[in-house]
Amino acid sequence: MGTIAIPDPLPSPVEDSENLRKAVQGWGTDEKAIIRILGRRNGDQRAKIRDTYEEMYKENLIDRLHSELSGDFRRAVIQWTLDPPQRDAQLAKEALLEILIEIACASSPEHLINVRKAYCSLFKCSLEEDVLKKLLVSLISSYRFNGEAVDEQLAREEAAKLREAIFTWILSTRNVLQLNATFNCYRDAYGTPIDQLARIIQTTICCIENPEKHFAQVIRSSIVGLGTDEDSLTRAIVARAEIDMEKIKETYYKVSLVVGDTSGYYKDMLVTLLG
């Protein structure tokens, strides 16, 4: 239940490529034309446009858009124009935990496989390998030591590892006194209590059980309060516009606030994707 308004009749990829070329050539850029064309094409149609444009003009459309646009508008257009698995692979490279959870839990198995393939192609290593490195996963026994000795240095080190959200093996192998020392070190080092890690589990469960609710919350959080989190707002709308944005709009009925919290061509692009 996406929100993309595809025109009928649909222009050919050649015609779209010609119009995009006109939009980015010469003095100035026709941002409205870019929104009108790319913002109203689905993933398969955008892929044909990318291929046709490169074949006709011997340049990469993404690279040209990057050079012509700027700011949040550029980020939104490029994320939308990219092949979805490539887009998610690049987002995964940023290694933000919430993004990794979204990709892993709110995607179809086929899409996740394609993301892994795209990641390997783009970065010459596997997604799993990078995630394991960045999250400091270690292979150890799940047997919990039950003594009373406390190692303060170990507590500080594992507090740092908990900061990276790799806590399951620590919780399952350390005695209670050791864990309390680790929790105290975590709080002292990072200024937040250990129970905030529960948010990670909540995010994972929400992405699996009710992805539209999760992304509605992402949209709401990005625009409510002081300032706007444009990166999160862009990611949520771009990622779900072709999938379940209608359900997200039903879940979060104040999606119209996006209009008031953004401006210019960036706003126009998001409003186009929101239908």
- 179 has pLDDT over 90: no
- 189 has pLDDT over 50: yes
Rounded CA Rg of the chain: 22
Q: What is the mean pLDDT of residues 84-108?
A: 84
- Mean pLDDT estimate for the chain: 84
Top pLDDT among 181 and 65 is at 65
Q: Same fold for the domain at 13-69 and the one at 210-274?
A: yes
Listed by start position, the domains of the chain span 13-69, 152-201, 210-274
What are 206's two structure tokens? 């929400």
Q: For 101-153, write each residue's pLDDT tens digit.
A: 888 888 888 898 998 899 899 988 888 777 766 654 433 233 445 566 778 88
Task: Specify the CATH number for 210-274; select among 3.30.470.10, 1.10.220.10, 3.50.50.60, 3.40.50.720.
Answer: 1.10.220.10
DSSP-assigned letter for residue 145: P
Q: What is the mean pLDDT of residues 44-64?
A: 97
- 171 has pLDDT over 80: no
Q: What is the mean pLDDT of residues 34-59?
A: 97
- 220 has pLDDT over 90: no
Q: What is the pLDDT of residue 139?
A: 30
Q: What is the pLDDT of residue 259?
A: 63
Q: How many CA atoms lie within 13 A of 174 on its CB side?
A: 21
Q: For 71-87, write each residue's pLDDT tens digit.
A: 999 999 999 999 999 99
Q: For 228-242, write each residue's pLDDT tens digit.
A: 899 999 999 999 999
Q: What is the mean pLDDT of residues 151-160?
A: 78
Find, among 40, 21, 115, 121, the residue nearest to 81 by Cα: 40
Q: What is the pLDDT of residue 62?
A: 97
Question: Which region among 40-54, 59-73, 134-148, 219-233 has the lowest average model confidence (pLDDT)?
Answer: 134-148
Query: Under CATH, domain 13-69 is a member of which superfamily?
Result: Annexin (1.10.220.10)
> pTM, whole model, 2 decimals?
0.75
Q: What is the pLDDT of residue 135?
A: 52
